[in-house]
Structure 1
Amino acid sequence: MTEDFDVHAFQRQVIAEFRENEGKLSGMFEGWSLAVLTTTGAKTGLRRESVLGYLEIDGKAVVVASAMGAPKNPDWCHNIRHDPIVTVETGNETYTAIAALPSGAERDELFRKVVEQDPGYGDYQARTTRVIPVVVLHRTDRVNGMGDWLKGVHDWLRDELAELGKQADALVDGTAAKIERTPPDLGHEMRTHCLSFCTALKRHHTGEDAATFPMLARQFPALAPALTELGQQHEVVARLQDEIQRLVDGYEPGKSDPVRLRDRLGALAAELERHFDYEERTIVTALNALAEAPSFA
């Protein structure tokens, strides 16, 4: 290529032909399996289009950030480290995906399979000292995915906390008095309900901290700041839980302050709603793309 060769103009020409001919190209790209990948510019926020080799490995769509063995990763790879949501055009269909960047042994095994399909990628790796990223494009149109299941868990926890709030209201406005004259009193019922709720919430957050968040961090570097924030929110929620558990366990009708209990439950509800809302906005799409909802049948 000459020094005055315009790479961007060439790409635009190839993309135009790709779209006009439903993914089929002539000349040097004739017979190749290609896709147009649209990312969001990390600095500009603008849509950026790239024509890439498109492979299917173990039923997953894969593109490789080879840049023909150049010493630096291509711009599109840099973009997905900041925003992993992409658009994929294959000629036959267009779909939205979330781009994962496997690392370590997972990346190495995937790259081995890439080279089995197309040995040219092995030649590109031999030209550079950088480890060429392999990118898995997970479709976001999964039905009944893990992210939707997570929202269902959140809704159940919301309902359980709302019921605790109603019980606290009854203690404050005096409507619990009649119930408290016959066993089990409302205080006992509330302690049982609180134990169930707090145990479920703690188990849910422990599972996220130990497994879900590390898995997402490995696959989607762009989610790292959000995952850190979610972990910090877990700590705030845990402190509120412990305080509420102490208040409920120590509640004595006529002696304890039901207003304080109700107010701290309100604080927990507000904190959890902020947490659930943020979590659903940031990781549900990634979870839906990675896995189906658990089956307990």
Structure 2
Amino acid sequence: MTFNDQVIEEFRQGKSGMLEGWRLILLTTTGAKTGQRRTNPLGYLEIDGKTVVVASNMGAPAHPGWYHNIRRDHRVTIETETETYEAIASIPPAAERDALFAKIVAEEPGFAEYQAKTTRKLPVVILHRIDDRVRGMGDFLVEVHEWLREELRTLRAGVEDIVAGRADALVMEKSLKAHCVSFCEALTKHHTGEDMGAFPLLAQRFPALAPTLTKLGEDHVVVAATQKRIRDLVEGYVHGEGDPARLRDEFDALAGKLEAHFAYEERSVVAALNVTVTG
């Protein structure tokens, strides 16, 4: 039995064992290379209401394995003496890390000794409990998506009315053009805000999300191209000359691309966005 295995076994049995006097948790991560679940006992601190751990490796020259794991997959499981819960691990930017590390050293001077032993800057990691009761930027993102979905459904229905001749075509055409402009502007603003704000923030704190954020950015380019075709068709549409069926097909294509994009984004980043704001 390894030292870690012994500590884990004693911890789960409610014994202090060899690390008596330490505040311990068990952190389970997914191996960056193996994909297997790995559990490590770690000392932790509560700083400004945050659960914080340090990838000190006791001052060794290399980062501990669990730190490499969270850079590949930020989803973790935490075991305390009283409960087990799911969490996500974030890496604070430099200025925030330095402020946290100063507070850590003030409480546990041993971490300053570990830092003195190595040339690497010891990473500080914040462990955020995933709590459905907490609302944040991720939930706002979903609300924006729902609004955009509804707007697109309304636009699509308007085009269908023109195709079927169910309303005054000239009135519907004017309404459609105005509605299309406002929808396109809202969607562009939403995606630009993500590209310039939310995505860089997530990339900084959650390195594991890098491939996801790249894909989402590529989706924005594809959606923007489809959106431009629709706007050009709507603005150039003339009753009796334009082809409303083609316009309907383009709306259907946009709806398909947007739904796939929104669904993937909601699965991938909502939890991280929520804790980024609340943490």
Which of 70, 86, 90 is the aligned partner of 2:60? 70
Gaps of at least 5 residues in structure 2 are: none
Larger deviation, residues 96-105 vs 53-62 = 96-105
Correspondences of 1:24-173 after superposition (within 5 Å): 25-27=16-18, 29-143=19-133, 144-173=135-164
Shift of the alpha carbon at 1:161? 0.4
2:5 to 4, 12, 23: 12
CA distance in 2, matches of 1:109, 1:9: 35
Distance in 1 (alpha carbons) for counterparts of 2:93 and 2:178: 45
Of the candidates 276, 291, 295, which is equivalent to residue 262 of structure 2?
Answer: 276
Q: Distance in 1 between matches of 2:195 and 2:42?
A: 35
Question: Counterparts of 2:129 and 2:193 in 1: how far apart (Å)?
Answer: 25
When normalised by structure 1's length, the TM-score is: 0.90
Q: State the Cα deviation string for residues 151-205 of structure 1 (Å, max 9, x = none).
A: 12111111110111111111222223xx236xxx001111121122112111111
Letter in 2 for 1:165: R
SS of the equivalent of 1:39 reads: strand
**1:213-248 CA-partner distances (Å, limit 9, x unpaired):** 010000000001110111111111112112211111
**3-state secondary structure, aligned to 1:291:** helix
**What letter matches 1:116 in structure 2?**
A
Alignment partners' CA distance in 2, 1:142 and 1:60:
17
Q: How many residues align?
A: 277
Match of 2:238 in 1: 252
8 A Cα contact 1:147 1:285, kept in partner: yes
Check whether the contact 2:233–2:247 (CA below 8 A) recurs between aligned residues.
Answer: yes
For 1:227-266, what aligned pairs fall within 5 Å after superposition?
Answer: 227-266=213-252
Q: 2:211 aligns with which of 208, 225, 241?
A: 225
TM-superposed deviation, 1:93: 2.2
Deviation at 1:142, TM superposition (A): 4.2
Q: Root-mean-square deviation (CA), in Å?
A: 1.4
* Alignment deviations for residues 55-85 of structure 1 (CA, whole Å, 9 cap, x no partner): 1111110011000001110010011111000
